[in-house]
Amino acid sequence: MHDPRRVIDDLRNHLSVHDRSLVFLFGAGTSSAINIAPPPNPGDLRKYQPLIPGVDGLTTICEKAVADLGESHKKAWASMAQQCTKCNQAVNIENILSMVRAKIAAVGDGETLVGLDSDGLRLLESAICSSIAKKVLPASDKIPERIPHDRFVQWVQRVHRTSALELFTTNYDILFERAFELASVPVFDGFVGAHEPFFYPDCLDDDDLLPRPKWVRLWKLHGSVNWKATEASVGTRIVRGQPCDTGEMILPSHRKYDESRKQPYTSFMDRLARVLRREHALLITCGFGFRDDHINELVYGALENNPTANVIAMWFEDLKETDELVKRAQRRSNLTVVGPNGGVLSGTFGEWQLTQPVDRKTHAFLDTAFDSNANPEESASAAATTEDLRGKMRLGDFNWFCRFLNEMGSQ
């Protein structure tokens, strides 16, 4: 058993160090945490309708879009799904899209792969990217007045750091950009210029070219809906502009046949590796499912080669000892995993159990991060049972994680 107080105390202490290299890695779970389902009827639980679907939801949407292209494209999708399964890869949109682009690079004139020629494969790629882009670009009136991203930015505003905050995300949407701009927090994303900002990779290699620590550094590992490739006198380059629904710069990492599009991905991955090599670097993940093998190996490698670095992974679903992330954490004391039902601390898996029941004095400190089974009013006057000491950790839910940050107070 692990006492959840230990995790909460440790996390607060880590976040209060002003000069530590602090890095966040946010995944699709941060966007799908926004529930836009209508209020429930009295006595009913609220349904779940994400503003932006997660990877599995996007996969279903894209599969339908490809099927609508015709029978040959439907069969091509099924064939690639089988190939994913044979390679022990998840059948999700990122693996499918990577496979499509690999086939586009490999197919020759007059040849076919998975029943499609070059034009057919490119049409399939276009259908996938546009379907994703449309889903991750919700209309302004669909976005709730207050989202967890706003709470995260509110915490950033209050924190006085001497070391710049670096935020990596695999999301294609622009919810973080929107939240930072609404709060007038300066953000640097690797693009420079005033007319049509272009990607400038040199700044990721030289900290002297980066803004001061008051600026948040936002690195989008899997591309963005407001990036596009343009032709210039120096050749093809990546620029940032208004969001578009073509999705041409979604997952640029897998455009093996177009190095200019791959450039942001490699630069941001190198940046992540570089910051994790710093002494006492701390990476906190939330909403990230560890499905990207390239990112996984980079993170695991950093923990192996830099014993002073630490990773704290906030997990949304219940953990099992058979989970790959749990197995990895059991072999690395500097990898902490925090799930609703339990976690891996210092290489040991255990379920949550308080050493003392929550009471009226401690529930305010614990309640946001840990949903105890005990009733504070009752536990003050009755002997604690084992059930009173149990509960669920909430930090894997981006909504609760951002509430936790804000309740820490000004650092």
Higher pLDDT, residue 91 or 372: 91
Residue 376 has pLDDT above 70, yes or no: no
What pLDDT does 257 receive? 56
- Would residue 185 be called left, alpha or beta, if left means φ above 0 and alpha means ψ between -120 and 50 degrees? beta
What average pLDDT score do residues 57-63 get? 96
**Whole-number average pLDDT of the chain:** 91
What pLDDT does 276 receive? 96
pLDDT digits (tens, 9 = 90+) for 302-358: 999 999 999 999 999 999 999 999 999 999 999 999 999 999 999 999 999 998 877
What confidence tier does 411 reach under pLDDT thresholds 50, 70, 90? very low
Q: Which residues have CB under 8 Å from 184's CB, separation 6+? A: none
Please provide residue 71's backbone torsions phi and psi, each rounded to the nearest 5 degrees.
-60, -40
Please provide residue 130's backbone torsions phi and psi, each rounded to the nearest 5 degrees.
-70, -35
Taking the C-alpha atoms of residue 247 and residue 131, their distance in angstroms, rounded to an integer, is 8
pLDDT digits (tens, 9 = 90+) for 243-281: 888 888 888 766 655 666 778 999 999 999 999 999 999
Bridge partner list, 88? none
Taking the C-alpha atoms of residue 250 and residue 127, their distance in angstroms, rounded to an integer, is 12
Taking the C-alpha atoms of residue 20 and residue 196, their distance in angstroms, rounded to an integer, is 34
Taking the C-alpha atoms of residue 44 and residue 374, their distance in angstroms, rounded to an integer, is 23
Residue 108 has pLDDT above 60, yes or no: yes
- Would residue 173 be called left, alpha or beta, if left means φ above 0 and alpha means ψ between -120 and 50 degrees? beta
Q: Which candidate, 352, 353, 361, places its Cα nearest to that of 380?
A: 361
Taking the C-alpha atoms of residue 363 and residue 376, their distance in angstroms, rounded to an integer, is 7
Taking the C-alpha atoms of residue 325 and residue 238, their distance in angstroms, rounded to an integer, is 34
Higher pLDDT, residue 382 or 162: 162
What pLDDT does 37 receive? 94
Bridge partner list, 241? none
Higher pLDDT, residue 264 or 359: 264
Higher pLDDT, residue 231 or 203: 203
Bridge partner list, 350? 343
Taking the C-alpha atoms of residue 315 and residue 328, their distance in angstroms, rounded to an integer, is 14
What pLDDT does 269 receive? 94
Helix and strand element counts for the chain (H, E) = 15, 15
What confidence tier does 378 reach under pLDDT thresholds 50, 70, 90? low
Three-state DSSP class for residue 209: helix
What average pLDDT score do residues 147-172 get? 94
What pLDDT does 188 receive? 97
What pLDDT does 410 receive? 43
Residue 390 has pLDDT above 70, yes or no: yes
Task: Indicate the helix (H) or strand (E) that contains 338.
Answer: strand 335-338
Residue 382 has pLDDT above 60, yes or no: no
What pLDDT does 256 receive? 56
Say what percent of the chain tops pLDDT 70: 95
Q: Residue with structure tokens 């607060």? A: 12
* β 348-351/370-372 pair status: unpaired
Residue 300 has pLDDT above 60, yes or no: yes
What confidence tier does 235 reach under pLDDT thresholds 50, 70, 90? confident
Q: Which residues have CB under 8 Å from 70's CB, separation 6+? A: none
